[in-house]
């Protein structure tokens, strides 16, 4: 692609624990091209950076307006310094934005994936035209982002919008973060798998979930639950309905604090739960004092697996 | 007071279920004069309004820059319409701001008490100089307000900042709002009284709390707990410590969403709990993922019983 074609575009970079995805994104949020390269998460800081450079170079031909990077947190979005991400042990207090900027000489922004995806949805996706956006990505974990008036809400230190670790049950199970009863430990993918496996403590329990796992309870995962639900399995429906109820309670808390004008859900588990969005909306008024809770749109994200690329690109377009 | 003296001042009006307090407040948030008159909460809409006018008239001599009113919610802060407040049955969809404005011909603002008090603390009190303020008033209930960059955060419909109804225990006791396990039902004054009374299910339990209630368990209230704590009672300490732990869990949720740069607590129960603020701060990191949680100042409000007058005045100075 020539420099001329890329002049109005930006690069969105999505750094994960195992891969780096890079996309060329136009001003309307359309992903024109993308590549995916391995990440070096466990080596030296420079080896990690080199992996990112290689991924960028495979698409970059100069002329882009900026480079926006989704990276695992914790990080400082103001300085672009990556602090000590558990799944990127190569970096500790690493000045990622500065290093990328000095190589490519374009503006560089760094933020966490949920914040960036929230911004992409606001700018180009399901939250376009809304002022008070709450975005949640539900997958292996639950990440959230808040966008007010078209800008990510970062709070004082850049750690705002960690809604996945809002506890709704302080007597509940311990989360990976150390808190008890966070919505992430109650309703993300692993929780759905665990809830399903617990149902099979009753050895006479029959369900397509178990058939899909070849009869092995230990092989039951949230994916199997989703597949079983799609085939009409009653137990799978029960499990997903219970999960939707927990998300309703949690969203009630969010609504009572933020009073958003839209709630956007992304991620694989959210897609699996989308048939239950109506029941979440119907249940919401019982779990918040906001008198207009039932009027808040609850919608699936526009971007699916490319949310990280779109999110990175949105950071640059801010 | 002559017109000349009041020219740069505003009136703060605090409407409650039984009284109307009005104060003349200067540009530095100092309350120069105040009166307190009975409210007519149960009569006609006009009788209620007349009670407010009488209270204002007893201080008003023209020349003020504006009138700011704290009123019980729910209300619409944008239009100044009071919707259907449970403790002001006289008004339903009542255009309070418009009616006051048309009588006095000055700018009039209306908001709920916690939002207004949060603004007064930001402008003139304990949160002066902070950008991301979370304010909570803990008394018979728990009300909260959020101020970003010197302005009340209202959300889409004006119902943001209802932090008192964030649930931390969805299996917990039912709150007056209908939700389960709201911090208000767990940690406000009535909860402290109930927790104390429950301790006396053991008839051999001795405590200054019970002595202060003349030995009658049914007469035990949060005030008695506070008095007993002040006299060094161990059970009172235990009860207040338990309450502080619940507030810690709740503030962990708030911090993970908002990442504030200050937390201000007002109200009588907060004052009673202030000896436990250090333990709340120490406990906070265990209940939020924010890596800088322990650095967030947690301070008592500057305004005590006059928070409503100051809050009303702050609305005008916005």
pLDDT value at A2 more than 60: no
Contacts of B292 in chain A (CB under 8 A): 156-157, 159
CATH fit for domain B3-112+307-317, picks 1.25.40.20, 3.40.250.10, 3.30.420.40, 3.40.440.10: 3.30.420.40
What gap in Å lies between CA B161 and CA B148, rounded to an integer? Answer: 12
What pLDDT score does A300 carry? 98
Domain B3-112+307-317 and domain B126-187+237-300, same fold? Reply is: yes
The predicted model gives A156-169 an average pLDDT of 96
pLDDT score for A86: 86
Which positions in chain B touch A177 (Cβ < 8 Å)? 289
Distance separating alpha carbons of residues A140 and A165, to the nearest angstrom: 13
Using an 8 Å CB-CB cutoff, list chain A residues near B249. 167, 170
Give the pLDDT mean for A79-97: 94
Residue A4: predicted pLDDT? 52
Q: Which of A244, A12, A250, A245 is nearest to A111 (CA)?
A: A12
Q: Determine contact, residues B252/B294, Cβ cutoff 8 Å.
A: no
Token readout for B164 is 């008192």
CATH 3.30.420.40 fits A3-111, yes or no: yes
pLDDT band at A151 (very low <50, low <70, confident <90, very high): very high
Q: Which residues of B touch A257 (CB under 8 A)?
A: 146, 160-163, 166, 254, 257-258
- In tens, the pLDDT along A237-280 reads 999 999 999 999 999 999 999 999 999 999 999 999 999 999 99
Contact, A112 vs A75, CB < 8 A? yes
Distance CA B83, CA B158 (A): 12
What is the pLDDT at residue B4?
52
Count of A-B CB contacts under 8 Å: 137
Put simply, whether A72 touches B (Cβ < 8 Å) is no
CB of A137 within 8 A of CB of A149? Answer: no
Q: Does B129 touch chain A (CB under 8 A)?
A: no
CB contact under 8 A, A252 and B179: yes
Domain boundaries, chain A: 3-111, 126-301
Residue A5 banded pLDDT, cuts 50, 70, 90: low
Number of C-alpha atoms within 13 angstroms, CB side, residue A71? 35
**pLDDT tens digit sequence for B217-241:** 999 999 999 999 999 999 999 999 9
Concatenating the DSSP letter of every residue in chain A gives --HHHHTT-EEEEEE-SSEEEEEEE-TTS-EEEEEEEE---SS-HHHHHHHHHHHHHTT--S--S-EEEE--SSEETTTTEE---TT-TT-SSEEHHHHHHHHH-S-EEEE-HHHHHHHHHHHHSTTTT-SEEEEEEESSSEEEEEEETTEE--TTTS----GGG-BSBTTSPBPTTS-BSBHHHHHSHHHHHHHHHHHTTSTT---HHHHHTTT-GGG--HHHHHHHHHTT-HHHHHHHHHHHHHHHHHHHHHHHHH--SEEEEESHHHHHHGGGHHHHHHHGGGG---TTGGGS-EEE-S-STTHHHHHHHHHHH-
Tell me if chain A has a CB within 8 Å of the CB of B120.
Answer: no
CB contact under 8 A, B289 and A252: no
The strand pairing partners of A159, in sequence order, are none
* Helix ranges, B35-137 (H): 45-57, 96-104, 113-124
Helix, coil or strand: residue B168: coil
Chain B residues in contact with A292 (beta carbon < 8 A): 156-157, 159
A165·B289 Cβ contact <8 A: yes
Q: Report residue A317's pLDDT band, with 50, 70 and 90 as the boundaries.
A: confident
Contacts of A291 in chain B (CB under 8 A): 74, 83, 157, 159
Rg of chain B (C-alpha set) = 20
Position B87 scores a pLDDT of 86
What integer pLDDT is reported at residue A185 of this predicted model? 97
Q: End-to-end distance of chain A based on CA atoms, in angstroms?
A: 24
Q: Do B168 and A163 touch (CB under 8 A)?
A: no
pLDDT, average across residues A44-71: 95
pLDDT at B116: 98
Cis peptide before B15 (omega within 30 of 0): no
Q: Average pLDDT of chain A?
A: 95
* ipTM here: 0.95
Give the CA distances from residue A42 to residues A35, A88, A91, A140, B63, in Å, rounded to whole numbers and listed in that order. 21, 7, 9, 21, 70
| Residue A302 backbone phi and psi in degrees, to 5 | -75, -45
Q: What is the C-alpha separation between B240 and A10, in angstroms, rounded?
A: 55
Q: B146 contacts in A (CB within 8 Å)?
A: 257
Cβ neighbours of residue B31 closer than 8 Å, sequence gap 6 or more:
B12, B23, B24, B25, B306, B309, B310, B313
Q: Is A245's Cβ below 8 Å from some Cβ in B?
A: no
In 3D space, the residue among B297, B14, B155 whose CA is nearest the CA of residue A262 turns out to be B155
Q: B3 exposed, middle or buried (CB, 10 Å; 0-12, 13-18, 19+)?
A: exposed
Return all residues near A278 (Cβ < 8 A) that are at least 6 apart.
none
Q: Which of A243, A256, A261, A283 to mutate to test the interface with B (most CBs of B within 10 A)?
A: A256
Query: What pLDDT is stored for residue B155 in this prediction?
Result: 97
CB contact B152 to A (< 8 Å): no
Which residue of chain A is at minimal alpha-carbon distance from B256? A162
Q: What is the pLDDT of residue A63?
A: 86
Minimal-distance CA residue of chain B relative to A289: B177
Selected for mutation to probe chain A from B146, B168, B249 (highest A CB count within 10 Å) is: B168
Beta-bridge partners for B151: B148
User: HSE of B199 in the Cβ direction (CA atoms, 13 Å)?
Assistant: 22
Which of A74, A166, A256 lies closest to B291 in CB terms? A74
A252 touches chain B (CB under 8 A): yes
| Residues in chain B with pLDDT values less than 70 | 1-7, 318
**CATH class of the domain comprising B126-187+237-300:** alpha beta
Structure tokens at B219: 């007469």
In sign, the C-alpha dihedral spanning B96, B82, B22, B310 is negative
- pLDDT, position B136: 98
**Strand (E) positions, B97-206?**
108-111, 132-138, 142-148, 151-152
Q: Which of A168, A179, A291 sits opposite B167 (nearest CB)?
A: A168
Q: Which two tokens stand for residue B22?
A: 């009005």
Q: Give the integer Cα–Cα distance in Å for A15 and A7.
A: 24
pLDDT value of position A6 = 55
Cβ-based contacts of A142 with chain B (< 8 Å): none
Q: Using CB atoms, pick whichever of B155, B252, B257 lies closest to residue A161.
A: B257
From residue A266, how far is each of A145, A153, A242, B133, B135 by CA, in Å? 11, 18, 19, 30, 32
- Does residue A64 belong to the interface with chain B, where contact is any CB pair within 8 Å? no
Q: Which residue has the tokens 């402290």?
A: B192
Architecture category of domain A126-301 in CATH = 2-Layer Sandwich (3.30)
């Amino acid at each position: 692609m020539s420099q001329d074609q890329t002049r109005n575009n930006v690069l969105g970079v999505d750094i994960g624990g195992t891969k780096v995805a890079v996309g060329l994104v136009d001003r309307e949020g359309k992903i024109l091209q993308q590549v995916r390269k391995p990440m070096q998460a466990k080596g030296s800081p420079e080896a990690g950076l080199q992996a990112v450079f290689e991924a960028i170079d495979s698409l970059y031909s100069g002329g882009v307006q900026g480079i926006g990077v989704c990276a695992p947190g914790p990080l400082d979005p103001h300085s672009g310094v990556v602090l000590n991400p558990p799944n990127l042990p190569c970096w500790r207090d690493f000045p990622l934005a500065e290093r990328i900027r000095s190589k490519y000489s374009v503006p560089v922004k760094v933020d966490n994936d949920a914040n960036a995806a929230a911004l992409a949805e606001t700018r180009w996706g399901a939250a376009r035209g809304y002022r008070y956006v709450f975005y949640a990505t539900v997958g292996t974990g639950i990440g959230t982002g808040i966008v007010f008036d078209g800008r990510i809400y970062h709070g004082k230190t850049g750690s705002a919008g960690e809604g996945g670790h809002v506890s709704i049950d302080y007597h509940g199970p311990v989360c990976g973060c150390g808190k008890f009863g966070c919505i992430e430990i109650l309703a993300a993918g692993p929780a759905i798998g665990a809830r399903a496996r617990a149902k099979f403590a009753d050895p006479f329990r029959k369900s397509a979930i178990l058939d899909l796992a070849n009869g092995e309870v230990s092989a039951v995962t949230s994916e199997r639950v989703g597949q079983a639900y799609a085939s009409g399995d009653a137990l799978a429906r029960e499990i997903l309905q219970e999960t939707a109820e927990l998300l309703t309670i949690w969203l009630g808390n969010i609504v009572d604090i933020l009073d958003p004008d839209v709630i956007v859900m992304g991620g694989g588990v959210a897609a699996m739960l989308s048939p239950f969005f109506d029941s979440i909306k119907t249940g919401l008024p019982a779990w918040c004092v906001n008198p207009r809770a039932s009027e808040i749109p609850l919608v699936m994200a526009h971007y699916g697996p490319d949310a990280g690329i779109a999110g990175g690109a949105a950071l640059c377009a801010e």
